[in-house]
Amino acid sequence: MTQVATMHPSVEATESPLTPESWGKLGMWIFLIGDAMTFGTGIAAYGAIRYGSADWPVPSNVLGIPLTAFMTFLLICSSVTMVLSLSAIKRGDQRGLRNFLLLTILGGLIFLGCQAYEWNHLIFHRLPEKGFSFTGHLFATTFFVLTGFHGMHVTGGVIYLSCIVIQGVRGRYSAERYNPVEIAGLYWHFVDLVWILIFTFVYLL
């Protein structure tokens, strides 16, 4: 009886407001809205510091645009594979779910690898060359805070998606029960969305 109730949320006595499918989805949205505030405040503070600085460099002269453009492309691709894995399990396609999730995780891992390379290159070569040491200029500090906070989110996302793929291999999801995949997807797309903003405000603008 309880199983029937969970499989058909519409018959539950207390339906989640705003997201009738599940409470978990509402919970993820609340978390993401809070997280968006944190990132938004970070980007606003970055703008404030930059506007008040007299010797801010043009970011594209210091930072590597081609590599980060590739990283943007990578995250967009991994977002696409994430929605494809969700649409696979909605059709009951277990193999599609697993393969697309693994591709998404691979995208996240390559992204992190690129970021590790980028940081290493910036800290030891590029920034000293241009006269902005790791700790010596707010240009470097704000850059590492924003991209580092985002990188931590990608790391968290890779761990999160790995848990989902393990559950998927164990056959926990089906065409009737795909909600956890959708919720994990919300988080992953949010990380992609934040990168789109960081790429624009920190690298291009």
Partner 1 sequence: MATAHKEPNYIGVFWWLLALTIIEIAVIYMPLAKLAIGILLVGLALSKASLVAMYFMHLRFERRTLALIALTPLLICVLLVFALLPDLSATPHQSAVASQVSTTPH
The residues of the shown chain that bind partner 1, judged by CB under 8 A, are 10, 18-21, 29, 32-33, 36-37, 40-41, 43-44, 47-48, 51-54, 60, 65, 69, 72-73, 76-77, 79-80, 82-84, 87, 90, 182, 185-186, 189-190, 192-193, 196-197, 199-201, 204-205
Q: What is the 3-state secondary structure (H, E, C) of 123-189?
A: HHHHHHHHCCCCCCCHHHHHHHHHHHHHHHHHHHHHHHHHHHHHHHHCCCCCCCCCHHHHHHHHHHH
Q: DSSP strand E in 61-114: where? A: none
In this complex, which beta carbon is closest to partner 1, that of residue 21 or of residue 126?
21
In this complex, which beta carbon is closest to partner 1, that of residue 19 or of residue 123?
19
Q: How far is the CB of 186 from partner 1 (least distance, A)?
A: 6
In this complex, which beta carbon is closest to partner 1, that of residue 27 or of residue 128?
27
In this complex, which beta carbon is closest to partner 1, that of residue 64 or of residue 123?
64
Q: d(Cα 3, Cα 11) in Å, to the nearest integer?
A: 11
Q: How far is the CB of 149 from partner 1 (least distance, A)?
A: 15
Quote helix, strand, coil % in the chain, to nearest 5.
80, 0, 20
